[in-house]
Amino acid sequence: MIRPRVSVLRSLRSPAPARPHRWRHALGAALLALAPGTAALAQNDAEQEMIVSHGYSFFGDLKYPEDYEHYDYVNPDAPKGGEIVLSVLGTFDSMNPYSRKGRGGALSTIMYESLLGDMPLDAYGENYGLLAERVEYPVGKDWVIFHMRPEARFSDGTPVTAHDVLFSHNLLLEQGLPSYAVAVKRLIPNAEVIDDHTIKFEFTPGVSRRSLIDQVGGVPVWSKAWFDETGARLDEPRLATSPGSGPYMIDSIDVNRRIVYKRNPDYWGWDLPINKGRHNYDRIRLEYFADDTPAFEAFKAGEVTFRSESDPKSWATQYNFPKVSNGQVVKEEIDDGTPPTPTGFVFNLGREVMKDKRVREALSLGYNFEWTNESLQYGLFSQRSSFTQNSPFEAKGAPEGAELALLESLDDLVPPAMLTEPARMPHESSATRLTDRGNLRTAMKLLDDAGWPVGSDGKRRNADGQLLQIKFLFNTASEGVLGGVVESYVKNLESMGITVNLDKVDPAQYTTRERDRDYDMVFDSYASFLEAGTGLIQRFGSAEAEFSLFNPAGLASPMVDAIIEAALNSTNSEEESAALMALDRALRYEFFMIPVWYKDKSWVAYYDMYEHPADMPPLDVGFLDFWWVNEDKAAALRSSGAVR
């Protein structure tokens, strides 16, 4: 399930759609009785095997035993102190990211913790106790009990109790995002406080147990007392925030200019093994800029000290200033082992013009990846084809084995062509010219066949005289190379006789219109997946397709629904793998997004005072998680005037 999960201090990618789908992947659940030394067994009155453990994952053992000292990839002796300064593009007018109204400030979930901690970056699908010291459930996972740490405190010194957990759970159901509330109410009908530090959640009979325990274990915990005293609501924008229990708290806010978070010296959980070697900065400062040009200049001047780069032109041409040459600024490429975010040109399938797949096929042929990559992106990218690119679940060739058997079992829901043909791949284009004439001819025939012929004025209209008109929504904070890519794509569409309205709007308008799906096309993204979870329903399922913020295309496919159900009901990793591969194949077949590019490296540049372990984890760069400041280097940079 896609949850309003506590934000882990990982990469801050800007600009990005203001949507909670960047907070967390939907994680799987865990059978821990198989892990030697990690689970204690008991019997209840119904003679069910009970599992009690310090963590949770669905298939197989936990990597870290009950007596683990710290995550393997951290430096447990990393010094605490110093500051990291990051640039953020756009604006903010709220510190409440859980409301559909307003634009939440970056990292505004940083103060809040959950019963289970964030997934370690070297063990996908595992979670370890944070506010909860242990988790208890029957093998059938009909319910779960969390036993909380009595020492946990909010930043105002008050204890974190099971009453706060229940309050937070119910608050999300009553005032949270509709797509979240609908899904959770259907799957989690009851929750009750057993005592001040024990809470039980019950799950609906007959539904998949995937993502349910880690779902409730991942709910951010707020202070019930603060909400009761202030009357604040979760569905309203506001700058005031409830006290959190996490290692950081708000230091200062300057709307649309700056947010500063400071490390809480009285944080209750510094000695927990899950926190060793992490949360090392004294201050995290976020500087807001209207666009990337002043943001980059601020980095060069030393006002911003760390930069996660996404612009290929900048990476290829702009890091040649003296501070890079003399070693004061480090430019580094770090391997990225996660599937790339499925980003691209998304069709709004709720619009009548987009319901004809021939029209979507024609629109896709206007995008020339090869020319774009060579001419605008310095040849630094590869073309994405899959929703789980470069993972074991990427569909390749025609289906076979367990995947084919699953698809055949779905009968008429699966088109015959999907059973025998290779998975959909992006079209190829000429790298030497923007307009590929062969693709253009194919696209124009598709539009003719779809009932949109070209008139004497060069414009395409249907039999009723209506223009083939596309409203393309674009965020001005994403100008730069992406702006050039979009404009080049629009130029090709216009050469086909399509009328394109490229609506360039500021970030605040973009957020509102994106939420309202006020577009025919938008440059947007979905989340990749590496396991089954009920978050797949929110991203790709039909039930909440009309309003889910996680499904910008409004995809509603009975075939996709059936495959997701099969994935959720898989009983072993082999069945799960077959279902996820079938899901990737089906999503590509439904064709609701034109895939664009990806890279398997993270590009970062930073002043030479930040350090990280030599052996990096595969799942994230983690510069806000486990990096640290070398104070001697920092002092030297300040003394020289390199940083301000």
606 & 538 share domain: no
Does some domain include residue 413? yes
Instruction: Tell me the C-alpha distance between 276 and 443, whole Å.
Output: 56
pLDDT at residue 511, rounded to an integer:
87
Residues 200 and 524 sit within 8 Å (Cβ to Cβ): no
Residues 282 and 86 sit within 8 Å (Cβ to Cβ): no
Does some domain include residue 86? no
Does some domain include residue 99? no
State yes or no: cis peptide before 15, omega within 30 of 0: yes
Tokens matching residue 229 = 């005293």
List of residues 6+ apart from 222 with CB closer than 8 A: 112, 164, 167, 168, 171, 242, 244
555 & 444 share domain: yes
Tell me which residue range forms the domain holding 615. Answer: 248-338+600-640
591 & 623 share domain: no
589 & 609 share domain: no
CATH of the domain at 307: 3.40.190.10
How many Cβ atoms sit within 10 Å of the Cβ of residue 438?
12
- To 10 degrees, what angle do helices 558-568 and 573-590 make? 160
Does some domain include residue 82? no
Distance of CA 241 to the CA centre of its chain: 23
pLDDT at residue 47, rounded to an integer:
57
pLDDT at residue 480, rounded to an integer:
79
566 & 604 share domain: no
Could you say which of 581, 596, 611 is where a domain stops?
A: 596
Does some domain include residue 222? yes
Which residue, 273, 241, 247, 335, is CA-closest to 7?
247
Instruction: Tell me the C-alpha distance between 411 and 527, whole Å.
Output: 28
Distance of CA 368 to the CA centre of its chain: 26
446 & 540 share domain: yes
Task: Dump pLDDT digits (tens) for 566-596.
Answer: 999 888 889 999 999 999 999 999 999 999 9
Does some domain include residue 9? no
400 & 273 share domain: no
pLDDT at residue 21, rounded to an integer:
27
Could you say which of 230, 262, 289 is where a domain stops?
A: 230
CATH of the domain at 400: 3.10.105.10
68 & 191 share domain: yes
Which residue, 342, 493, 484, 497, is CA-closest to 426?
342
134 & 275 share domain: no
Instruction: Tell me the C-alpha distance between 429 and 422, whole Å.
Output: 19
Instruction: Tell me the C-alpha distance between 212 and 218, whole Å.
Output: 10
564 & 491 share domain: yes
Residue ranges of the chain with per-residue pLDDT less than 70: 1-48, 60
Residues 547 and 581 sit within 8 Å (Cβ to Cβ): no
Phi/psi zone of residue 514: left (φ > 0), alpha (ψ -120 to 50 degrees), beta? alpha
The number of domains in the chain is 3
Does some domain include residue 410? yes
Does some domain include residue 80? no
- Strands across the sheet containing 499-505: 499-505, 469-475, 521-525, 343-347, 593-595
304 & 400 share domain: no
267 & 294 share domain: yes
Q: Which of 546-551's residues contact partners 24+ apart within 8 Å by CB, and which partners?
A: 546/350, 547/178, 547/179, 548/179, 549/19, 549/20, 549/21, 549/100, 549/177, 549/179, 549/515, 550/2, 550/19, 550/21, 550/179, 550/526, 551/526
